[in-house]
Structure 1
């Protein structure tokens, strides 16, 4: 996973925070990767379907989103970090070719932020296998996701704090403090009500898609909204474009 440091990325401008799944990209990276990984590994046939059914059943019972996130990583117990990194690169090379992988309007925003000198930070409940290749292709400076616990190079199945809900807001505030950037000079993009803490923490929140909770906040507070169309894949090496204006 991309690790932030005092020396990484531009200084002196704002920070642009991006949720990943269904905001910057169309699919849910964790499930897309899981299907690929289970289908190309030594798992028994039907393993992916059973795993997804288990996670969906937990969500249907009202298990909190962050706890469902933890259940996902228990599926990775015993997997090696290097094996997952390699699988993630293979997954991305295949998945990113599919129409609609990138949410084109949001990817274009990311490029403009970067070209204008903003630090670009991805925040996601996903993990390094998915986030590293996405961050590299999109041109993000940092990728902060859920961190699996690793011992002797293997995932234990446990995680530290899931990068879900309020944790995204905490991460945004910490990043702004580390970079000495006022939160009023930061922008954030999110598509789900669980991104509310992130969006509420910055000066320029942008709602992506049609989530009813976020739409209500956008209407009440004058937040910007972006319709994230699918369309064809967009190369993640576009030229420099004007920086988005701050509200």
Structure 2
């Protein structure tokens, strides 16, 4: 299945991009620049630390660009009360999307209750706010593709609007094999959940690879901002260079 020309792929990839700045030393000024770039390029969303949500919401007011933030990030091991407080605060500040790290170590250890408590709490808050929950399963830290499938299924069962591969903070982030496994889990669950590839996606060729997997598994035309996202910081430059 083909997606067409490089320019077609670049345009589609820009439209589904969560333009991201989760650097440890990033600043409010950098977040403001991120919003300017997002507005000019008409990406799907920006993804920033919770403290920058209010400024991004103000900067993007009146545009279709959504504001995403992260909780339980990047460890997936923060106390439940802290995750609830982070989520509630971000939603009060106007975040449209919450990217929450699945407590994947707890899940791997068999503590499904602890993992479920986090996702269920975040899901409840997000649903009440009319926002979306993206669950980061940290696929590069899972032992094999069977564990990736299990984590994706768990995320879907606990209310994920999107299943996201990675935080981008581990040695292995998104991979084509993990993407295909997650997408197969989404298809098996009825296809109503979206997919986000994040971490290490830097080139047009990378973007084409993941979009082609989505088309092969989910069908032609499935990838839209409502169902598919890229989380990346440097990808926009590569896509905008395509002529």
TM-score of the superposed pair, with normalisation by structure 2: 0.32
Structure possessing the higher relative contact order (Cα contacts under 8 Å, 6 or more residues apart)? 1
TM-score of the superposed pair, with normalisation by structure 1: 0.31
